[in-house]
Amino acid sequence: MSQLLQQLQTRLSSPLLTGTDISARYQHDWSSEPVGMPIAVARPGTTEEVSVIMKLCSQFGQQVVVQGGLSGLCGGGNPRGQELAISMERMSGIEEIDSASMTMTVKAGTPLQVIQEAAAAQGFVFPLDLGARGTCNIGGNISTNAGGNQVLRFGMTRNLVLGLEAVLADGTVISSMNKMLKNNAAYDLKQLFIGTEGTLGIVTRTVLRLFPKALSRCSALLAVTEFPKIIELLHKVTRDFSGSLSAFEVMWHSYYHFITDNVKGIISPLGERHPLYVLVELEGGDQERDQLLFENCLGDAIEQGIVTDAVVASSQREREGFWKIRDGVAEIGQFIRNTANFDISVPISVMHEFLDSIESELVAKVPAAKMLVFGHIADSNLHIICYTGRREDIKTMYGIVYSIVGRFHGSVSAEHGIGVQKLNYLHYSRSPAELALMQTLKEALDPQGLLNSGRVLPK
Ligand SMILES: Cc1cc2nc3c(=O)[nH]c(=O)nc-3n(C[C@H](O)[C@H](O)[C@H](O)COP(=O)(O)OP(=O)(O)OC[C@H]3O[C@@H](n4cnc5c(N)ncnc54)[C@H](O)[C@@H]3O)c2cc1C
């Protein structure tokens, strides 16, 4: 065992994992990006232990990879050979719920679902929500600035973080555990660690915003004939629900029918087939009043020819049935392999033209390519799954789609991050000056390139 590992072994409260003790779960996230074996897995139990690890790694010039719940989709948490993996799994737990301030203080390794449930038990909601809720950790959510289903109303993770504690590459602990919404006392340092995917520091604790739990929820699945009507519908529900619109998920027919035709137990509640489907939800404070408002608005939309068919959920079970179609994406891997998965954003005003360009360029260059499309739309986010079934086509499809994203001034990552997967495509969304400033920040905070090296930025 090397000198570094020996010192870590004596200074940490939990033994290092090495050799065959490193189980498969520490070796990869949900992406199919390359993996390597870490030299060891350290599992710190406190911020002080994270600091000890980084002080020693700094002394020995040892590179590390930080691991949260490893539900990431861009390979950021995948160890490369010769790195020390730092798993945050033992730093889990809720430290405080401050009802008066509507905040929760938690350790970074706490699973998102545990946070959601603890908030709900006190009559609050922590509104970050994504399919990987049971697996992902809040530290991973913060580091990737995760989006999810409720961005439209509550913003990305960045908007939900009030305070944060992080350990720098040299082991320095930066504690900004602020509880106030307003705090302009100079630089907002927590932003350095939100969405930077562990390249500038290791998030160890955080203060999160809580919101009062909604007392009403109305849901419907709608059918629409063409994209301009989706925009009309979005504007109408935003206006009519006066701030209570909580979900607006659009599914193109390719995606919707793939799920409802193939996935066992998922059935379309609409009789006919349509070009586009929208799952729309309102959350408010009075079920009876809100239901009336909701149904009146959708009734108008049908009369005005914006919506062609609609099913309003009359029970929680029906509502869950709508969401199963939207969340059915997690089942796609059973049916198709070798997919190129895109998590991109483009201005909604050009979204239709953008999709047309992808379709025509893909058909021209990769004739066998098929596309499944769905997205959060109101926040400009589209998810596109392209596939031919052949592994060798994936790179070509990435190249085609990302260059079109660049042409339409979109983002190569709306919410999943860059990791190692999109490193070579970042220039489509960021200028040389922006990339140079990112590199300057990285070099200032981590001059030896120890933290998550080769993720997000080349060094
Ligand atoms: C079924 C499914 C659905 C998903 N849906 C969504 C969605 O709707 N929206 C969305 O945004 N994402 C989604 N994701 C992607 C993923 O869940 C998110 O990116 C999540 O935030 C990752 O959290 P994690 O704890 O699993 O992080 P990991 O995968 O462990 O790590 C992700 C990155 O963050 C770094 N990191 C982790 N913890 C820390 C820490 N404490 N300090 C510093 N760096 C750290 C890692 O090094 C890595 O670079 C989904 C994934 C799956 C599998």
**Does 222 share its domain with 315?**
yes
Inside any domain, residue 457: no
* CA–CA gap between residue 332 and residue 227 (Å, rounded): 24
Instruction: For 337-369, write each residue's pLDDT tens digit.
Output: 999 999 999 999 999 999 999 999 999 999 999
**Does 360 share its domain with 323?**
no
**Does 168 share its domain with 74?**
no
Give me the pLDDT at residue 436, please. 97
Of residues 306 and 459, more confidently modeled? 306
- Give the CATH number for residue 52: 3.30.43.10
**Does 112 share its domain with 75?**
no
Instruction: With a cut of 80, say whether residue 216 has pLDDT above it.
Output: yes
Inside any domain, residue 131: yes
Q: Rounded mean pLDDT of 81-89? A: 96
Closest CA to 365 of 397, 326, 321: 397
Give me the pLDDT at residue 84, please. 98
Q: Is the CB of residue 45 less than 8 Å from the CB of residue 13? A: yes
Give me the pLDDT at residue 89, please. 98
Q: Is the CB of residue 257 less than 8 Å from the CB of residue 332? A: no
**Does 126 share its domain with 205?**
yes
Distances (CA, A) of 169 to 57, 147, 249: 8, 27, 40
**Does 207 share its domain with 220?**
no
Q: What is the number of alpha carbons within 13 Å of residue 170 lying toward its C-beta?
A: 9
**Does 126 share its domain with 63?**
no
Inside any domain, residue 169: yes
- Give the CATH number for residue 272: 3.30.70.2190
**Does 324 share its domain with 379?**
no
**Does 198 share its domain with 132?**
yes
**Does 31 share its domain with 70?**
yes
Inside any domain, residue 447: no
Give me the pLDDT at residue 378, please. 87
Q: How far is the CA of 239 from the centre of ligand 1 (A)?
A: 33
* CA–CA gap between residue 417 and residue 397 (Å, rounded): 19
- Give the CATH number for residue 381: 3.30.70.2740
Q: Rounded mean pLDDT of 132-157? A: 95
Inside any domain, residue 450: no
Atom number, ligand 1, closest to the C-alpha of residue 30: 53
**Does 102 share its domain with 11?**
no
Q: How far is the CA of 149 from the centre of ligand 1 (A)?
A: 15
Q: Buried b vs exposed e over 332-359: b needs ≥16 C-beta within 10 Å?
A: beeeeeebbbbbbbbebeebeebbebbe
Domain's final residue, options 181, 212, 243: 212
Work out the mean pLDDT of the chain and round it to a whole number. 96
Total tally of structural domains belonging to the chain: 4
Q: How far is the CA of 144 from the centre of ligand 1 (A)?
A: 6
Residues with CB under 6 A from ligand 1: 29-30, 65-73, 76-77, 88, 108, 130-132, 135-137, 139-141, 143-144, 146-148, 197-198, 202-203, 330, 415-416, 419, 452, 455
Domain's final residue, options 58, 87, 116: 87
**Does 376 share its domain with 410?**
yes
Q: How far is the CA of 119 from the centre of ligand 1 (A)?
A: 21
Inside any domain, residue 459: no
Instruction: With a cut of 80, say whether residue 1 has pLDDT above it.
Output: no
Residue 377 structural domain: 337-435
Instruction: For 285-322, write each residue's pLDDT tens digit.
Output: 999 999 999 999 999 999 999 999 999 999 999 999 99
Report the SS3 class of residue 197.
coil
Instruction: With a cut of 90, say whether residue 44 has pLDDT above it.
Output: yes
Task: For residue 419, name the pLDDT band (cuts at 50, 70, 90).
Answer: very high
Inside any domain, residue 248: yes
